[in-house]
Amino acid sequence: MKTQQTAEGVARPAGRPRSEKADRSIIEATLELLGEGIGVSELSIESIAGRAGVGKTTIYRRWSNKEDLVVDALATLKPPIPLPQGGTVRDDLVTYLRVIQEESRHHRTRCIMNIAMSDSERHPRLAERFRELAVEPRRAVVAAVLRRGMETGELRADLDVDMALALLSGAMIWSTKWSHSGDHQADLPERIVDEALKGFRPRPSTPEP
Amino acid sequence: MKTQQTAEGVARPAGRPRSEKADRSIIEATLELLGEGIGVSELSIESIAGRAGVGKTTIYRRWSNKEDLVVDALATLKPPIPLPQGGTVRDDLVTYLRVIQEESRHHRTRCIMNIAMSDSERHPRLAERFRELAVEPRRAVVAAVLRRGMETGELRADLDVDMALALLSGAMIWSTKWSHSGDHQADLPERIVDEALKGFRPRPSTPEP
């Protein structure tokens, strides 16, 4: 494998970024500009390069287009959710919703996501890649929690995992966005999970509605 | 009560809009500009007046500020949801989610809501008034459906109405936004309602989890 020297003098595979530091500056500059209200359509590689203090070539060496760079920048705001092993399904689901709640409280993250997604109609590939890179891995983690519960009997064996995920995640996002005091309800994750689990747990028999 | 003649010659109370036609043009111009990607911060009364073919005074006579005009314009995209009387709770909930689904499929509505809400961090009063004017009336209608079900025994008497609303509405919005093929799943409203109702219906006894 061919290697090349980075600015820091560490040997790296050819084709990989020359400098992690430059990468971080470029990502941070992209987030800063989005956070200032500059939409994806208005955002230019030139303005990002200027803010990051690097040349445009340095950016193009790593990202072939603006959308890919924005997706990578957004993904840093939605890191994978590590779930402790061995807890109950309820504990894991509460942990998951608490991460979403914390993120929705973070002003800068909200602002940046709002700005970036406001343009998603014009940049459908951006939303699609963000889904693959940041949304799907989280879905997979929570889906695994639900499937574990279905195996142990904590949850119904016929649970619709996709729907369960949509109910939990959607309720959290909807509550923080539209409820009177959603942002300030510290126990919202528990309330949502407990209400949802009433339908997710096994039931001995179903009465006629 | 003082009245004045409108352009159409109909007597109206003083202080009310002089012309419904001008109002409609102003609302439509506001939606057009938002739909073109102009954020609330960039939007000016001057540009709206120019697009609508009216003077700025005509706008200020009706709306004292830009945010109020934007809220009224957005509210026209989210009219009240009329629910048929006498159906089952399931029917009414499916109807409600189907309206949300249709709206989320409507490209222009999505685009305009995205743009307007992308600035909501900078215009908190806008989001608050939109919630009061367009979100709360819908919540009230669906809450009434849920309470009716709790009275008739279709639903659990101890249902958490706020949480139930968040689960249903959130699941619909989350599914259309993030699922692989949410937009194309014609039966999504039924799937969400049926999965949610498993938890909302009365249960004879609860097994130990």
pLDDT tens across A174-183, in order? 888 776 554 5
Q: Tell me if B101 sits within 8 A of B168, measured CB to CB.
A: no
* Residue B196 pLDDT class (50, 70, 90 cuts): very high
Nearest neighbour of B118 by CB, restricted to A118, A173, A207: A118
Contacts of A139 in chain B (CB under 8 A): 178
The C-alpha atoms of residue A91 and residue A83 are separated, in whole angstroms, by: 9
Asked if the C-beta of A135 comes within 8 angstroms of chain B's C-beta atoms, the answer is: yes
What is the average per-residue pLDDT within B155-170? Answer: 94
Greatest Cα-to-Cα distance within chain B, rounded to the nearest angstrom: 71
Least confident window among A117-121, A173-177, B148-152, B157-161 = A117-121
Say whether pLDDT at B169 is over 80: yes
Given this model, what pLDDT does residue A66 score? 93
Instruction: Give strand pairing partners of B4.
Output: B12
Given this model, what pLDDT does residue A184 score? 63
Residue A174: other Cβ atoms inside 10 A: 23
Tell me whether residues A166 and B174 touch, CB distance under 8 A: yes
Task: Note the pLDDT tens digit of each residue in B7-66.
Answer: 444 444 445 546 888 999 999 999 999 888 788 888 999 999 999 999 999 999 999 999
The domain over range A89-200 is classified in CATH as 1.10.357.10: yes
Given this model, what pLDDT does residue B4 score? 43
Quote the percentage of chain B above a pLDDT of 90.
50
The C-alpha atoms of residue B44 and residue B33 are separated, in whole angstroms, by: 10
The domain over range B89-199 is classified in CATH as 2.40.30.10: no
A137 Cβ neighbours under 8 A, 6+ residues apart: A80
ipTM of the complex: 0.73
Q: Report which listed range, B10-24, B37-51, B74-88, B110-124, is most confident.
A: B37-51
- Domain B13-72 CATH (choose: 1.10.10.60, 3.30.70.360, 3.40.50.150, 3.40.50.1820): 1.10.10.60
Mean pLDDT of chain B: 83
Asked if the C-beta of B152 comes within 8 angstroms of chain A's C-beta atoms, the answer is: no
Tell me whether residues A121 and B114 touch, CB distance under 8 A: yes
Given this model, what pLDDT does residue A12 score? 44
Asked if the C-beta of A187 comes within 8 angstroms of chain B's C-beta atoms, the answer is: no
Chain A closest CA to B171's CA: distance in Å?
4
Chain A closest CA to B111's CA: distance in Å?
6
- Domain A16-65 CATH (choose: 3.40.50.300, 1.10.10.1100, 1.10.3720.10, 1.10.10.60): 1.10.10.60
Q: Tell me if B104 sits within 8 A of B45, measured CB to CB.
A: no
From A29, A61, A60, A23, select the one nearest A43 (Cα to Cα). Answer: A29
Please state the domain extents for chain B.
13-72, 89-199
* Residue B203 pLDDT class (50, 70, 90 cuts): confident
Asked if the C-beta of B169 comes within 8 angstroms of chain A's C-beta atoms, the answer is: yes
State phi, psi for A150 to the nearest 5 degrees.
Answer: -65, -35
Chain B closest CA to A60's CA: distance in Å?
27
Tell me whether residues A207 and B203 touch, CB distance under 8 A: yes
Mutate to test the interface with B, among A195, A197, A200 (most CBs of B within 10 A): A195
From B170, B146, B9, select the one nearest A177 (Cα to Cα). Answer: B170
What is the average per-residue pLDDT within B68-97? Answer: 88
Tell me whether residues B121 and A107 touch, CB distance under 8 A: yes
The C-alpha atoms of residue A1 and residue B136 are separated, in whole angstroms, by: 61
Q: Tell me if A123 sits within 8 A of B41, measured CB to CB.
A: no
The C-alpha atoms of residue A168 and residue B154 are separated, in whole angstroms, by: 23
Given this model, what pLDDT does residue A123 score? 82
Interface of B with A in 58-117 (CB under 8 A): 107, 110-111, 114-115, 117
* Residue B2 pLDDT class (50, 70, 90 cuts): very low
Asked if the C-beta of B154 comes within 8 angstroms of chain A's C-beta atoms, the answer is: yes
Write out residues in chain A with pLDDT < 50, as ranges.
1-14, 17, 182
Query: CB pairs below 8 Å between A and B: how many?
Result: 142
* Residue B205 pLDDT class (50, 70, 90 cuts): low
Instruction: Give strand pairing partners of A12.
Output: A4
The 3-state DSSP class for residue B11 equals strand
B31 Cβ neighbours under 8 A, 6+ residues apart: B73, B76, B77, B108, B112
Say whether pLDDT at B73 is over 90: yes
Given this model, what pLDDT does residue B12 score? 45
Given this model, what pLDDT does residue B62 score? 94
Nearest CA in chain B to A161: B195
Question: Would you say the CATH fold of B89-199 matches that of B13-72?
Answer: no
